[in-house]
Amino acid sequence: MSPADTIAQPALWPLSLIVFLPALVAAVMALPVIPKAREELIRWITLATTIAVFVLSLWMAWPTLFGAVGPAQFTVGEAGMQAVVKRPWIPAFNIDYLLGVDGISMPLVVLTTFLSVLACGASWPITKHVKAYHVLFLLLETGMLGVFVSLDFFLFYVFWEVMLLPMYFLIGIWGGPRREYAAIKFFLYTLFGSVLMLLAILMLYFTSDLRSLSPEQLVASHVVSPALDAAGQADAVAVIRSAKGPIHTFNLLALAQLGQLPNSPFAAVNLWGMSLETWAFLLLLIGFVIKVPVVPVHTWLPDAHVEAPTPISMILAGVLLKLGGYGILRICYPICPGAGLSLAWLVCGLGVVSMVYGAFAALAQKDFKRMVAYSSVSHMGYVMLGLGVWSATAGNEFRWDAWAQGVNGAMFQMLAHGISSAGMFFMVGVLYDRVHHRNLEECGGIFNRMPVYSGLAVALFFAGLGLPGLCGFIGEVLVTLSSWNYSRVLAVISAFTVILTAAYILWAIQRVYLGGEYKGPHGDHLTPITGRELAIATPLVFLAILFGVAPQLIFNYVTPSVNRQVETLADWTRDIGGKPPQPVAGGPVPAEVTGVR
């Protein structure tokens, strides 16, 4: 049908393998090929798979490491989508198997594959239903990676759901005493969000019409493959533009182009007093902020973390939370800019509330892991704030750089938090494996008992504290500095959080690691850190320092893509005069929209 089928797509296999290799291995393992009893073999197979995927993603993301740069690999410093793979998937609904990476998703993909390797290593102590655990673990990896590379909204949603189920079982079966409660809570929260997201997806789909896009926009959004020659492109464009009825699309890039049109079809539709764009933004936002999570929809997180086994906590904090931030950045803002502009206060406000509330709540916790979980709420608040600081207004002549700084900071914070929080959860797990409790009041003196472990743990906690020279600092300071141009009040409150963060982290360190003697049970089990644990903790500490000292390593990837998006949106703000477009009262409502129940 489509000439795109015949075009060479060099990234097809590498990118597909990155996403699907874990699932394929999981499917094979699920068959009774490998006996359940061969637990060690299963662990090694899983580890080998995660390592293979990690190497593959590194091969893509960092071509120079492997010598020659191939066409499927990532060009650092380029802003646009790269390694785009497009195959028609369900043509009846214009659904494509559309994958691609840019500076925003590439680092997150590598973070995911990297943390999967470490989490797999951290899964060694798991002895219950080993095979099932690893199958689900690999499926989870496919789901996460799929979300990051999908450029088709439907595909995105499928992967989003694929991720949900394994997580539910991983918490519900391998978790702590209250695992079932935690798992169902996680499941219901996320499912609620996904349902709303699905609603928004359908709204956008049925309102979209590719015919409104110019030929350049069609090419830029890969609706018409840029790899075609001029004649081929013209043909494909002509097919679209001459269609009788509207051509709907799930293509995220095309939806973004539509959303940023001066007469955006999403902004024009009035639905119960608000534009469809606003509805879609809000529905999507709810779905995403549940994942982030922000206050007040965060209560699944402490329970999930406390009950989840250590490696799952690492994945949960390290990767899953980032999906929310990624979704807001990739989907909410580009597709619904008008709503983004008028609701920026909501995004920022939720972020700041989470920062402060999470920090206060962390201060009150007696359970070590719960404390770390609340610190995640607080730290992810920075991400929300950074994404939301839409400071390009008429008052500052629509300057985009302050906002771009916030978004870059938010991206950095996501990656840094991926490292520091995964590390913190792992460190809590190491202690728990020995003494089988997490009560902050019944610890102390660990430094003298396990010096190497404690040194590494304190380094990771300092990264969480936002100490300069470690990865937590850069994101926090960029976000905080950028928020001033958006709102002075929010900026001051966000700056205030640095005090609380110092308080809860230092207090926890004092109670657990410092002091003369260990005060809890099982003191004789406080054996030095093992080689396996060291192999997991050391890379995390190393990266925490590396990214803290040389943040450019990340910004080289992130900044071009982020800046382009923000600059585009700032220009868009200027073009509309700084005021979000209002829906036309009594304007045309497509039959499909009103038909959506």
Distance CA 467, CA 335 (A): 36
Give residues 351-370 in contact with another protein (rule: CB under 8 A).
357, 360-365
- Name the residue among 72, 98, 69, 73 with its Cα closest to residue 9: 72
Distance CA 432, CA 517 (A): 17
> In angstroms, what is the minimal distance from the CB of 364 to another protein?
4
The correct pick among 86, 185, 222, 248 for binding another protein (CB under 8 A) is 185
Give residues 16-45 in contact with another protein (rule: CB under 8 A).
20, 23-24, 26-27, 29-31, 36
Give residues 287-316 in contact with another protein (rule: CB under 8 A).
296, 298-299, 302
299 or 582: CB nearest another protein: 299
The correct pick among 122, 136, 430, 431 for binding another protein (CB under 8 A) is 136
Strand pairing partners for 85? 99
- Cis ω for the linkage preceding 560 (within 30 of 0): no
Distance CA 325, CA 596 (A): 27
Inter-helix orientation angle 276-291/179-207, to 10°: 160
Secondary structure (H, E, C), 105-144: HHHHHHHHHHHHHHHHHHCCCCCCCHHHHHHHHHHHHHHH
3-state DSSP assignment of residue 152: strand
Q: Counting contacts by CB under 8 A, is residue 91 touching another protein?
A: yes
3-state DSSP assignment of residue 100: strand
The correct pick among 214, 538, 552, 582 for binding another protein (CB under 8 A) is 552
Give residues 322-351 in contact with another protein (rule: CB under 8 A).
none
Site string for another protein, 93-132 (x = CB under 8 A): ----x-------------------------------x-xx
The correct pick among 55, 188, 238, 489 for binding another protein (CB under 8 A) is 188
Give residues 142-161 in contact with another protein (rule: CB under 8 A).
142, 158
The correct pick among 156, 186, 187, 555 for binding another protein (CB under 8 A) is 555
Distance CA 365, CA 181 (A): 20
Give residues 430-469 in contact with another protein (rule: CB under 8 A).
445, 447-448, 462, 467-469
517 or 524: CB nearest another protein: 517
> In angstroms, what is the minimal distance from the CB of 33 to another protein?
11
Inter-helix orientation angle 179-207/153-174, to 10°: 170
- Name the residue among 21, 45, 50 with its Cα closest to residue 34: 45
> Is 583 within 8 Å of 411 (Cβ atoms)?
no
The correct pick among 63, 80, 215, 515 for binding another protein (CB under 8 A) is 515
Give residues 562-581 in contact with another protein (rule: CB under 8 A).
563, 578
Give residues 200-229 in contact with another protein (rule: CB under 8 A).
none
- Name the residue among 290, 325, 320 with its Cα closest to residue 479: 325
The correct pick among 41, 199, 495, 553 for binding another protein (CB under 8 A) is 495
Give residues 70-89 in contact with another protein (rule: CB under 8 A).
88-89
Q: Tell me, what amino acid is at 245?
A: G
How many residues at the interface with another protein, by CB under 8 A? 93
Give residues 249-268 in contact with another protein (rule: CB under 8 A).
none
